[in-house]
Structure 1
């Protein structure tokens, strides 16, 4: 199947997710891709001067975030079909006047039909061209991800290259495109320059703010795009768990959100006034948190029918779920469990001895370190037990138990291979609940982790061709913070080379994985809704802990050696470590 006229990026992404690709041609070598990407990047930049006068830098750091303006050329006289296609792709780096330059490459009848707003197809940057018939051209793309019309980025499964089809006609003796896929095609470097990611904040049933990452064109209309995104609500995967505070039917009353003197002036339709006072406060919280990352915006005014009804300053949301003093590395070394400090173990107070008595093979501490979920050997097999200073509660005795999780609200999460479609959730002292997992594209979970904020479940699986993949699922809670279900959609958040080994949450919006690739094990940092980055390798790595920040990521190898990040590599932190203790 190929991308044809009328098939946008959203539809193409759905097809790719279902069949794992469009048409078979092997991916190019990673080394060649990197070399060409670097060459393209260097060619686009001026040389760094080694001598000459000192020039004044940016007067404000915000200047460093100004939109990048590309000025691609229109079609050249006498250009052949391949030149027209490649020129059209380059022209999509400029969205000025609704992609006016890109439309110059299209036949007049098709120029009005092409819909660039359908999304983005992001590829590696190598785009072989072929002409299978007289007036047809094809680009073969090694896809990385798609961005849908709402700005949600989804990594593509590994597999065959994607073939994009273009049809041609002559207009005034010059070749023009008469059919092309909707949306735009950008290589990774161009995409990162033209688009920017921002956090949109939505509400849980108990009115906590939770972020979704969205991508927007990096231009002066960024505030308008963000407010429109808030009005549209959370993405489909989060729709059961999150909501927007805006009353139903509320829209922007004008096409733009102007910013004057640092104040974003937002004019809403009259439906906003149907909101209760408490809801209006939630609307303000969403706006304040979502606009805080826009350069130059310090506050906002809300108007209806030309009259200002409210205003506030932008604020950085407090999403820290772990106390700073608890952002430490905790391990089991020898017979002791405690915090690693200067090569020594500082014993874990109150519950450390109770955990050690169970001879655990997996431990997750609560955020305040006052309780733990422990997997250990029971009387008739593995068991998951909750441990506090005064109590011990058996949670799960099913066969094939995974490492348990303990969320910030005190619920223990336990997954078992013997019950692959469900996960057990229990507040110690209450009855357990079994929540059904959504489909994972027929993949079996290898590890399951709950995010520090208790909002999402990350599931590690083996993807196509033995690759590492991670799905993220929304946790649905009631107003009392009790988990009552899981989202119906498991969003693919990561696809990376190498067979899966382990994963953990770094914080509420980032995951870290281990993938065995050749002789080493690769460490990959993956912010939700963004492209991942590899951050080095550790030989024979077996387990990873997110720790709460990038500097606190720890990797344990098969010989009990613990490593932490140091510059671009990994430095030995301790030896003879039996377990990394995770934090909930």
Structure 2
């Protein structure tokens, strides 16, 4: 019999290889093979969904037909993949774990016979979703060989050995699975930070979401965000949703949390389960008794920004709205005098980071203090805790950070040494760093965790993960929301906006323009603004853009 350890090792190798590759690539659409019935159903959600009802094994089926039927049955997660388990020998059916991983495949190789009772199926792996729902994708991930063993049960062939997990075509994946953000707490306990996971569209999704939330964030976010549930806390029973209230029963370890911790636990669950569309409240329970949770400080899941664009133009520096330019006390006059080519405004609007020919400066209280005079600097960023971020576009990748008191921190960014750094943006919650690096033949969009000490001083940058790879040049990037970013690419045909969900997919947005800069304000993708010449463009519907401001030299960034 094929060793279970050996087969799991093969899949573990696939996971490890993809973990080191890109988080995201384009979705390749192919037909789903095999007999399967597709039926639209209505669930207690806002939109119509689709469930797949695969058929069980047929009498007299060959080993090859049983294998084909088993793989196809992986499209039906209902009742714990009961149809898929019908293709397995009874003893093995209790051992096989269908939720261990999902291999997202764009192509299957012909089945190869390895022996009288052994078959091998090769699949082109484009992405892997692990047991926690974390999606990892890679272009050209290679073919993974999956081995299957068979035995006769009451005169019919059944599978007695197979890798854990399922195989789903790339085209079917988006139909069967849904991205859900799990929310974790930043070190300041002021923000909820999303971590996107993918789960089948089932009534049990809330249970998987709560369980993963308790377990903690994805590996790349460790150290930057935390879960508020005390160590050892478990989900004691499935999440029950009734009349919009999710009943979450936890193990007794949850009681070790103080009132502040309990309040954060409740906030995490409320925001996370709210993504289901059927949950408006959460009740925490231990041993059938509700947990007392006092009201705590509110946590922001989506830090607010201005809807009006931030500009430096003919009328000065400020927010350009229908009622004219709204200037910013202690900042606008200095920015207008120094005429920078890049500006980012702090969350409290008390300071700004600017770039001029002399380098990067921090503007505060009507004065500008130089903080980085290295040559060829990228446009700076600023975080919600008052730290200005600066880096060279080429050469040394050391990050220089300066706060309002003049304290200086230098960190190794861990970004690629080669190429040109074209964008550096700290997320509005201050927990993640977004960077764009342009190479000779392609560009890459990267994200990394920002790890801080107890005083919220950045002390380390986590290992960068690839968000997207583009053949065109990425010239600028922006945070669109807590879990989505936008890149502005340029090629011979013009400029294009691409929106990427972290831990998800990339899609084009809007028509081609001649823009050279991008920023985002309130409203998600509708808050995207472009600078084309001296015009600020905003989405106009139906994929178009319309000018909302003219005479603009610099499109500012809001923290």
Taking structure 1 as the reference length, the TM-score comes to: 0.81
For residues 491-535 of structure 1, give each alpha carbon's deviation from its aligned partner in whole angstroms, at most 9, with x where no partner exists: 333345534232111122220012345624331111222222211
Cα distance, 1:227 vs structure 2: 2.3
**Which residue of structure 2 lines up, in the alignment, with residue 266 of structure 1?**
248
Contact 1:476–1:484 (Cα < 8 Å) also in 2: yes
Cα distance, 1:476 vs structure 2: 2.1
Q: Give 1:355's match in structure 2, choosing from 331, 335, 343.
A: 335
**Which residue of structure 2 lines up, in the alignment, with residue 12 of structure 1?**
14
Contact 1:372–1:406 (Cα < 8 Å) also in 2: yes
Which SS does the other structure have where 1:182 is aligned?
A: coil
**Which residue of structure 1 lines up, in the alignment, with residue 360 of structure 2?**
384
Q: 1:105 to 1:341 in 2, by over 3 A?
A: same
**Which residue of structure 2 lines up, in the alignment, with residue 510 of structure 1?**
484
How far apart, CA to CA, are the structure 2 residues paired with 1:314 and 1:525? 34
| Structure 2 residue 123 is the aligned partner of structure 1 residue 149 | no
Q: Give 2:100's match in structure 1, choosing from 114, 118, 121.
A: 118
Q: Give 1:165's match in structure 2, choosing from 146, 162, 183.
A: 146
Cα distance, 1:385 vs structure 2: 0.7
Which SS does the other structure have where 1:367 is aligned?
A: coil
Which SS does the other structure have where 1:403 is aligned?
A: coil
1:325-344 matches, within 5 Å, as 326-333=306-313, 336-341=316-321
Cα distance, 1:142 vs structure 2: 5.9
Question: Structure 1: which 5+ residue stretches go unaligned?
Answer: 22-26, 47-56
For residues 278-307 of structure 1, give each alpha carbon's deviation from its aligned partner in whole angstroms, at most 9, with x where no partner exists: 322322222333233334434333333333
Which SS does the other structure have where 2:99 is aligned?
A: helix
**Which residue of structure 1 lines up, in the alignment, with residue 165 of structure 2?**
183
Which SS does the other structure have where 1:492 is aligned?
A: strand
Contact 1:253–1:269 (Cα < 8 Å) also in 2: yes
Cα distance, 1:151 vs structure 2: 1.5
**Which residue of structure 2 lines up, in the alignment, with residue 524 of structure 1?**
498
1:158-307 matches, within 5 Å, as 158-159=139-140, 161-167=142-148, 169=150, 171=152, 180-208=162-190, 209-254=192-237, 256-307=238-289
Q: 1:75 to 1:162 in 2, by over 3 A?
A: same
How far apart, CA to CA, are the structure 1 residues paired with 2:174 and 2:342? 39
Q: 1:337 to 1:140 in 2, by over 3 A?
A: same
**Which residue of structure 1 lines up, in the alignment, with residue 355 of structure 2?**
375
Q: 1:282 to 1:572 in 2, by over 3 A?
A: closer
Cα distance, 1:162 vs structure 2: 3.2
How far apart, CA to CA, are the structure 2 residues paired with 1:269 and 1:275? 12
Cα distance, 1:398 vs structure 2: 1.6
Contact 1:438–1:486 (Cα < 8 Å) also in 2: yes
How far apart, CA to CA, are the structure 2 residues paired with 1:152 and 1:218? 15
How far apart, CA to CA, are the structure 1 residues paired with 2:295 and 2:159? 48
Cα distance, 1:441 vs structure 2: 9.8
How far apart, CA to CA, are the structure 1 residues paired with 2:350 and 2:466? 34
Cα distance, 1:133 vs structure 2: 5.3
**Which residue of structure 2 lines up, in the alignment, with residue 50 of structure 1?**
none
Cα distance, 1:412 vs structure 2: 0.7
Q: Give 2:387's match in structure 1, choosing from 398, 408, 411.
A: 411
How far apart, CA to CA, are the structure 2 residues paired with 1:358 and 1:467? 35
**Which residue of structure 1 lines up, in the alignment, with residue 54 of structure 2?**
72
Q: 1:95 to 1:367 in 2, by over 3 A?
A: same
**Which residue of structure 1 lines up, in the alignment, with residue 436 of structure 2?**
460
Contact 2:395–2:418 (Cα < 8 Å) also in 1: no
Contact 2:39–2:52 (Cα < 8 Å) also in 1: no
**Which residue of structure 1 lines up, in the alignment, with residue 396 of structure 2?**
420
**Which residue of structure 1 lines up, in the alignment, with residue 458 of structure 2?**
483
Give the stretch that moved more between structures: 389-398 or 454-463. 454-463
Which SS does the other structure have where 2:291 is aligned?
A: strand
For residues 120-148 of structure 1, give each alpha carbon's deviation from its aligned partner in whole angstroms, at most 9, with x where no partner exists: 2234xx424324556644444361x3222
Cα distance, 1:537 vs structure 2: 3.9
Which SS does the other structure have where 2:275 is aligned?
A: coil
Cα distance, 1:179 vs structure 2: 5.5
Which SS does the other structure have where 2:69 is aligned?
A: helix
**Which residue of structure 2 lines up, in the alignment, with residue 54 of structure 1?**
none
Cα distance, 1:372 vs structure 2: 1.6
How far apart, CA to CA, are the structure 1 residues paired with 2:38 and 2:99? 26
Q: 1:236 to 1:262 in 2, by over 3 A?
A: same
Q: 1:244 to 1:527 in 2, by over 3 A?
A: same
Q: 1:295 to 1:431 in 2, by over 3 A?
A: closer
Q: Give 1:566's match in structure 2, choosing from 516, 540, 544.
A: 540
Contact 1:520–1:537 (Cα < 8 Å) also in 2: no
Contact 1:460–1:502 (Cα < 8 Å) also in 2: yes
Contact 1:120–1:186 (Cα < 8 Å) also in 2: yes
How far apart, CA to CA, are the structure 2 residues paired with 1:482 and 1:353? 29
**Which residue of structure 1 lines up, in the alignment, with residue 290 of structure 2?**
308
Cα distance, 1:395 vs structure 2: 1.1
**Which residue of structure 1 lines up, in the alignment, with residue 520 of structure 2?**
546
How far apart, CA to CA, are the structure 2 residues paired with 1:286 and 1:479? 21
Output the aligned Cα RMSD: 3.8
How far apart, CA to CA, are the structure 1 residues paired with 2:157 and 2:416? 45
Cα distance, 1:195 vs structure 2: 2.5
How far apart, CA to CA, are the structure 2 residues paired with 1:468 and 1:418? 14
How far apart, CA to CA, are the structure 2 residues paired with 1:311 and 1:337? 45
